[in-house]
């Protein structure tokens, strides 16, 4: 599927590949705008988003510490499902998120495990990016 880049910030021409996701965990569902980030090692979810999905911080496994600018955060594993009528053909896809203990993080879609489930191609000069469900054998 093809998605348009989204304006980001006040600098003219600054656009980012954001994907709107409807995430579900049990009976709870939220909509988030996630940055498709090939440089991110894992999917990342802010603390309040995990709570909205019914996550219980002390009941989910801790993950190894993050590095770089996010290194001061603790993260826990939170498994959620993502469904899109066209992109996933209505079938839920399990996404594992690093659930951060802070809210000042952006929702990220990274190598673990968004890019194991989906292929992405970026065409910034043309103003769009594509995301395709991987065929799992």
Query: For position 68, which CATH number holds?
Result: 2.40.70.10
Reported pTM = 0.91
Q: Which of 132, 130, 97 is nearest to 118 (CA)?
A: 132
* 73 vs 70: CA distance, rounded Å: 6
Instruction: Domain count for the chain, please give it.
Output: 1
pLDDT in tens, the chain (137 residues): 999 999 987 787 899 999 999 999 999 999 999 999 999 999 999 999 999 999 999 999 999 988 888 888 999 999 999 988 778 888 889 999 999 999 999 999 999 999 999 999 999 999 999 999 987 65
Are 108 and 44 in contact by the 8 Å Cβ rule? The answer is: yes
Q: Which of 109, 106, 16 is nearest to 8 (CA)?
A: 16
Range of the domain at 93: 2-133
């Amino acid at each position: 599927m093809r998605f348009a880049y989204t304006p980001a910030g006040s600098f003219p021409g600054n656009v980012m590949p954001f994907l709107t996701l409807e995430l579900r965990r049990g009976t709870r569902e939220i909509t988030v705008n996630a940055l498709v980030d090939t440089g991110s090692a894992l999917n990342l979810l802010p603390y309040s988003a995990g709570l909205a999905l019914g996550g219980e911080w002390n009941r989910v496994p801790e993950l190894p510490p993050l590095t770089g600018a996010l290194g001061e955060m603790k993260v826990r594993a939170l498994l959620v499902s993502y469904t899109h009528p066209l992109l996933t053909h209505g079938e839920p896809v399990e996404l594992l998120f690093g659930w951060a203990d802070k809210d000042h993080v952006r929702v990220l879609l990274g190598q673990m495990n968004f890019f194991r489930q989906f292929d992405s191609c970026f065409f910034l000069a043309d103003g769009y990016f594509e995301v395709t469900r991987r065929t799992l054998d």
